[in-house]
Structure 1
Amino acid sequence: MPKRVLVVEDSEFLGRLVADRLAARGYECTLAADGLEGLRRFTDELPDAVVLDLNLPRLHGLDVLRQIKRIRPETVVVVLTGHGSERTAMKALRLGANDYITKPFREDILLRSLRIHLERAELQAYIHSEAPLPPRVEAQVLARVFFEAPAAILHVDPDNRVVAANRAAARLLARRIEELVGAPVEGFVCPELRCRWMDRVREEASAPGGYEGEVYMEGPTGRFPAAVAGVERPEPGHLILALRDLTHQKALEKRYLESKKLASLGRVVEGVAHEVRNPLISIGGFARKLRRRLDGQPESRYLDVIVSEVERLERMVQDIEDYVAFSREHRSRFEPVDLREIVQQCVDRWKGRAEAQGVRVRFDKPEDLPQVYGDRNLLAELFGGLVENAIEAMPTGGDLTVDFRPVENWVQVRIRDTGVGIDPDDLEEIFDPFFTSKTSGTGLGLAKAHLIVEEHAGTIEFESRRGQGTVCTVALPVDRRRIPRGGSA
């Protein structure tokens, strides 16, 4: 029996083209020209798959998707979106869409996506409805699989209390198994989300696809984001919940978004620098000529100001072009390096200025610190800039402390000062190009530092309060052997 596909597309030409291509491959297709018609046809026909444009008249594609997944969660939905609408496509994936394809798209990509996801849906339907247990599987074997499974699993009774928990759940929630058994499952969720959370889990767990969501959980070691999946057991009211810590994933997503933001800002500032350079050359050249002609006259002081400001802008443009060139064109040379040696040289370079300002420097370096895999010159530039910033933050003196700490497969370098500090509201913006609290400079130093740390697959974080100093922590992996951006190791 051919698979039935509903195509919801407001462009008559594109909708007909997609339907004809799918029909040629053996699919049974129907068309809808707007969101309301698409939802009506879906309700009447309950097709196996929907090809859904997101930008629809009368009812937005996201609202259509939401209703489709409420009515029949197992339906395969492939959404179509235009360039620049990836954020909306991400929302569609979170609502249950199986895939998204950007217009203009290739026919083979759409066909392949539909085929793969329809095959998966068919397999899942078989597993849910027909797949028997393997022969001769004894109860103790299944119990051991549950107990030793690497995923955190909880068995919850109709009163929302934990009946059984495996080792992974005990590790995730930082409690002993005997403490978990009998405890209300809502107690592991942060207080502001507990109200009716399990009601929603139970409502969706009864659907064919089960429940999938994210929640902040709480344990003795603090709050953390977790993914929760839930399905009903054969016994009425009993659930199986699978939990997964999302802390690392969220950190990676944050770094990815920061990288995209820096990349887009880099393109903007490159364009600005290019457009500004030529007028600056003309203004500066004519101002210098006029200053030579008016040398000694009172009006020449105005030209002195113009020339001075032009020179400042020319330096800023040069800084921008250097930053963009570095982010795109530099070639890294990775090798095992001793961080103690590199940071010591950076501190020695600024020691004279520190002493002149009354800054006391303390350098703590353990003897057994492992080497890291990095670019010596880039790391020297990174830590030289961070040490310089710390000293500049203490114009009337203070304490600068540099220490190292090995943490599993990482080496942390902490640079602490007792200077003016950073306003907490500014901490989210310190890596943005042109953001600076100094009276001079372009604010590209920390943006470049972020690029260098990202190049080394590390992390950089600041903790600070106004008037209470700053702690900058750079963590670098001991062994990071992958091809770096812009060059080879």
Structure 2
Amino acid sequence: MSRPDARLPRVLVVDDNAASFLDNLQELLSDAGYQVSVADSCRAARERAHAGFDVALVDLRLPDGEGTSLAAELKSGMPESEVVLLTGFATLETAVAAVRAGACAYLMKPCSPQDLLLTLEQAMRQVRLHADKRELARRAQMTEKLAAVGTMTAGLSHEIRNPLNAAALQLSVLERRLRKLPESQQGPLMEPLSLVRDEIRRLDHILEDFLQFARPREFRPQPVEVEPLLRRVVDLLGSQAEVRRVRLELVGPVPASRVPGEEERLRQVLINLALNALEATPSEGQVRLAAGEDEQGVWVTLDDSGPGIPVEIRDRIFEPFFTTKAQGSGLGLSIVHAIVTQHGGTLVVGDAPGGGARFVLRLPKAAPAPPQGVG
């Protein structure tokens, strides 16, 4: 089974040379592990760029514009990608123009395959560096928010929990008194009482989210078997899936692997993700869990057939307090991400193969159990 989060680096080739040249170039780059798209004009390049790219190879002379202008435009639209300019007429002026356009490299045509692949790899290192810097900035921002949550929770938890407990107690007293009334009088009075109880319970859950997020408990890992964990989650949520008329299933063979962690907390992660998927999936849709393993560890995917998660908010969905729901603390996915990180894993979001959202959870493998001694 292939890795669920594997993505080939994307190269956009912008050149109006002969078709045979482009075919050879495309074959060379594809064999080297790149996903290649081709454009023969500035206009076509702009259209292809909407799909995204990591590195653009741009010819200096194009039929409907200058490569330097296009390079600057592509770099402006995708600042974390890189542009390499190609030319068969190198001069000092064109080299200076390439630098001003934001190109990271400048190649003379024809260039050897070795030089081209080396330049592309150097450009991809820059792309990965941009991604690492963005991730560091995101983590720094999350750390600041964590500190703010911790300070606020310490001051508010006691002040909020006491009134909530008192209100819940008085509500129970009121309910016992109402039960003593004739049944014909209980109905109109019990309905608002149930509504208040539900709201108190919701506030208590929000407070619990704050406490769990701000003060995670001590981590005590034990080997956890992956297959029973996934089957338990599917069994627990089966009735909710039926009510929503959504098919929830575990597909494919599950590796007989173990991961180091706390089973209860890993179950919490998967239940939270699956519940979000069920809420996002329309009636007659499906939510699918799958698992596999590779040299990096164990992976679990959770796909739904809902509308998916817009690209522009994917970097924010694990941030504390960020939510697209009308109600909620905005801490559910933040808690999930914190638990996964504590387990030494990663959690990313993308597109499911058939549409909808895909979450990919990666966890390290547990050390193999020691062999049993022979008696």
TM-score normalised over the length of structure 2: 0.53
The range that moved more, 345-354 or 368-377, is: 368-377
Structure 1 CA distance, aligned partners of 2:263 and 2:356? 28
Structure 1 CA distance, aligned partners of 2:257 and 2:208? 36
Alignment partner of 1:312 is 2:196: no
The amino acid that maps onto 1:268 is: M
| Preserved CA contact (<8 Å) 1:277 1:314 | no
Cα–Cα, structure 1 residues 281 and 479, in superposed 2: closer, same or farther, change >3 Å?
closer
For residues 16-415 of structure 1, what are the structure 2 equivalents within 5 Å? 191-192=75-76, 198=99, 224=124, 226=126, 245=129, 247-248=131-132, 250-269=134-153, 271-280=155-164, 305=192, 308-309=195-196, 312-313=199-200, 315-321=202-208, 323-325=210-212, 327-366=214-253, 370-394=257-281, 396-415=283-302
Cα–Cα, structure 1 residues 197 and 349, in superposed 2: closer, same or farther, change >3 Å?
same
Measured against aligned partners, the alpha-carbon deviations of 1:341-364 in whole angstroms (never above 9, x if no partner) come to 311221122223323433233423
Cα–Cα, structure 1 residues 333 and 405, in superposed 2: closer, same or farther, change >3 Å?
same
| Preserved CA contact (<8 Å) 1:270 1:320 | no
In structure 2, the residue matched to 1:472 is 359
Structure 2 CA distance, aligned partners of 1:426 and 1:200? 29
Structure 2 CA distance, aligned partners of 1:399 and 1:277? 39
Question: Identical aligned pairs, as a percentage?
Answer: 26
| Preserved CA contact (<8 Å) 2:301 2:359 | yes
2:338 maps to which of 451, 467, 473: 451
Question: Cα offset for 1:449?
Answer: 0.7
The amino acid that maps onto 1:399 is: Q
Structure 2 CA distance, aligned partners of 1:309 and 1:367? 44
Q: 1:396 is paired with a residue of what secondary structure? A: coil
How well do the aligned residues superpose, as a CA RMSD in angstroms? 5.0
The amino acid that maps onto 1:226 is: Q
Q: RCO higher in 1 or 2 (8 Å CA, sep ≥ 6)?
A: 2
Q: 1:419 is paired with a residue of what secondary structure? A: coil
Unaligned runs of 5+ in 1: 1-170, 175-182, 202-217, 228-243, 481-489
| Preserved CA contact (<8 Å) 1:417 1:469 | yes
The amino acid that maps onto 1:415 is: L
The amino acid that maps onto 1:261 is: K
Measured against aligned partners, the alpha-carbon deviations of 1:271-304 in whole angstroms (never above 9, x if no partner) come to 44443344556667778889979x99x9x97997
Question: Cα offset for 1:438?
Answer: 4.7
Structure 2 CA distance, aligned partners of 1:327 and 1:415? 27
Q: 1:478 is paired with a residue of what secondary structure? A: coil
The amino acid that maps onto 1:275 is: E
Cα–Cα, structure 1 residues 439 and 245, in superposed 2: closer, same or farther, change >3 Å?
closer
Unaligned runs of 5+ in 2: 1-31, 36-58, 61-67, 84-95, 103-117, 368-375
Q: 1:342 is paired with a residue of what secondary structure? A: helix
Structure 2 CA distance, aligned partners of 1:321 and 1:314? 10
Question: Cα offset for 1:312?
Answer: 1.3
Cα–Cα, structure 1 residues 378 and 196, in superposed 2: closer, same or farther, change >3 Å?
farther
TM-score normalised over the length of structure 1: 0.42
Structure 2 CA distance, aligned partners of 1:302 and 1:410? 56
Cα–Cα, structure 1 residues 422 and 247, in superposed 2: closer, same or farther, change >3 Å?
closer
| Preserved CA contact (<8 Å) 1:280 1:310 | no
1:418 maps to which of 285, 305, 319: 305
